[in-house]
Amino acid sequence: MSASQAGASGEVLTTGATAASHAPTLRSMVVAAATGPQGSSVEGLVEAVRQTAVSAQVSGAIVQLEVKAGDRVRAGQVLLRIDARASTQASQASEAQAQASRAALQLASREYERQKQLHQQHFISQAALDQAEAQFKATQAQVQAQLAQLALTRTQGDFHVVRSPYDGVISDLPVALGDMAMPGRPLLTVYEPRALRVRAHLAQSQALQIQDKAVLRVELPGQSQPVLAQSFQLLPAVDASSHTMELRLNLPALPGLVPGMFARVQLPANLSSAAQLRVPQSAVQRRAEMTGVYVINAAGKPLLRQLRLGAAQAGYVEVLSGLNPGERIALDPQVAARQR
């Protein structure tokens, strides 16, 4: 048994449970495209154009922390230090071996000069001279190898001091004094606050209509008026699961703006007048990072489907991708979850 009820985005039907009489009623509606002059926008996030997760290149305990989250740092500034006692001892050993090789080279050089003089006076054979020359060249190569090893140990010693790659702000510091640093383990995150952008995702049909010289504005926290994007870039790739394209908008320098903030991108008027799909906000199911609705299939069973949503208005939310006109959705996600 079903009854129809008119809705803003399509026909609303009430379907009785086919199992026991005490089962809850699953209400549903048919999604229809809505047209009109209402404004259109998409949600986005503020992110840094340049953000770096600084990782360790050597292993060792963290023995000194020079910064904390939120600090502003300069390029080359020391951020933290890793225990370098083993590296220092290895460097001292390489230095001693290099000195010994230099002394051996001096001795081999003098011996080779003496052998050349003796050969010129015909006191030794050519074979003896060749042997002295070979010994000199071998000692010379050994010195070069020792010097290279010494330079390597000194370079590895510098890895125990972690410095800032550029002027920026420390946004995350997940380690503490005494933690063990391992190669590849992120120690902190630094970003450049002077270059921020907004990353949003557009439905493929909308993204392809954006002109190169389109004027895009962004609603940001703490700003009374939408901010004009300095430039934007539409990445030439489509997400296979959501059928959306990534839009990046570069922002001017604004006080108080940090990565991770919520933003809303206002779309041009020619995109706002396009047909839109809207579903009731109460029908949207949110689970961690997944947002979707229960779509009723041909067999009458509700199946959870992930959606990408846009702006919300008057109890309805815009569907950017994941849903087609004519599909039926459940209005009560809790009831639908029990009837799967």
* CA distances (Å), origin 52, targets 46, 125, 262: 16, 66, 21
User: What would be the CATH architecture of the domain defined by 1-35+277-340?
Assistant: Beta Barrel (2.40)
Half-sphere exposure of 130 (CA within 13 A, CB side): 3
Find the range with the poorest average confidence among 64-73, 116-125, 262-271: 262-271
Angle, nearest 10°, between helix axes 126-158 and 85-120?
160
Residue 92: pLDDT band with limits 50, 70, 90? confident
Higher pLDDT, 317 or 190: 190
The per-residue pLDDT for 100 is: 84
Q: Please tell me the distance from the alpha carbon of residue 206 to that of residue 46, in angstroms, as a whole number.
A: 21
The per-residue pLDDT for 271 is: 61
The per-residue pLDDT for 35 is: 56
Across 151-158, average pLDDT: 75
Burial class (CB in 10 A: 0-12, 13-18, 19+), 238: middle
Find the range with the poorest average confidence among 70-74, 193-197, 223-227: 223-227
> Which range is most confident: 146-150, 189-193, 284-288?
189-193
Residue 3: pLDDT band with limits 50, 70, 90? very low
Task: Give per-residue pLDDT as tens, 8-62.
Answer: 444 444 444 444 445 578 888 998 876 554 557 788 999 999 999 999 888 899 9
Q: Which two tokens stand for residue 30?
A: 């048919």
At the top level of CATH, which class does the domain 85-158 belong to? mainly alpha
- The share of the chain scoring above pLDDT 90, in percent, equals 35
CA distance from start to end of the chain:
19
Task: Give per-residue pLDDT as tens, 272-286.
Answer: 544 578 899 999 998
b/e for 88-120, b at 16 or more Cβ within 10 A? eebbeebeebbeebeebbeebeeebeebeeebe
The per-residue pLDDT for 33 is: 74
Task: Give per-residue pLDDT as tens, 203-252.
Answer: 887 788 887 778 899 999 888 899 999 999 999 998 887 788 999 999 99
b/e for 139-159, b at 16 or more Cβ within 10 A? bbebbeebeebbeebeebbeb
Residues with Cβ within 8 Å of 262's Cβ and at least 6 positions away in sequence, in order, are 43, 44, 45, 46, 221
Q: Please tell me the distance from the alpha carbon of residue 125 to that of residue 146, in angstroms, as a whole number.
A: 32
Are 304 and 294 spatial neighbours (Cβ–Cβ below 8 Å)?
yes
The per-residue pLDDT for 39 is: 54
Task: Give per-residue pLDDT as tens, 126-144.
Answer: 888 888 889 888 888 988 8
Q: Which CATH superfamily is domain 39-49+195-274 in?
A: Efflux pump adaptor protein, beta barrel domain (2.40.30.170)
Residue 25 CA from chain centroid, whole number: 44
Residue 65: pLDDT band with limits 50, 70, 90? very high
Across 149-167, average pLDDT: 83
The per-residue pLDDT for 260 is: 92
User: What would be the CATH architecture of the domain defined by 51-83+160-191?
Assistant: Beta Barrel (2.40)
What is the full DSSP assignment across 255-266? TT--TT-EEEEE
Q: Please tell me the distance from the alpha carbon of residue 183 to that of residue 162, in angstroms, as a whole number.
A: 12
Q: Which two tokens stand for residue 24?
A: 């809850």
Q: Please tell me the distance from the alpha carbon of residue 107 to that of residue 111, in angstroms, as a whole number.
A: 6
Tokens 């048994």 sit at which residue?
1
221-225-227 Cα angle (round to 5) = 80
Pairing of strands 51-55, 33-34: unpaired
The domain ranges of the chain are 1-35+277-340, 39-49+195-274, 51-83+160-191, 85-158
Q: How many angstroms separate the most distant Cα atoms in the chain?
A: 121
Higher pLDDT, 17 or 72: 72
Are 232 and 44 spatial neighbours (Cβ–Cβ below 8 Å)?
no
Residue 80: pLDDT band with limits 50, 70, 90? very high
Across 165-181, average pLDDT: 93
Pairing of strands 168-172, 72-73: antiparallel
Residue 73: pLDDT band with limits 50, 70, 90? very high
Report the chain's mean pLDDT, rounded to a whole number: 83
Higher pLDDT, 70 or 41: 70
**Letter for the amino acid at 133?**
E
Residues with Cβ within 8 Å of 293's Cβ and at least 6 positions away in sequence, in order, are 279, 283, 284, 285, 304, 305, 307, 323, 329, 330, 333
Task: Give per-residue pLDDT as tens, 307-328.
Answer: 888 777 778 888 878 888 889 9
Q: Cα-Cα-Cα-Cα dihedral of 185, 189, 190, 191, to 10°?
A: 120
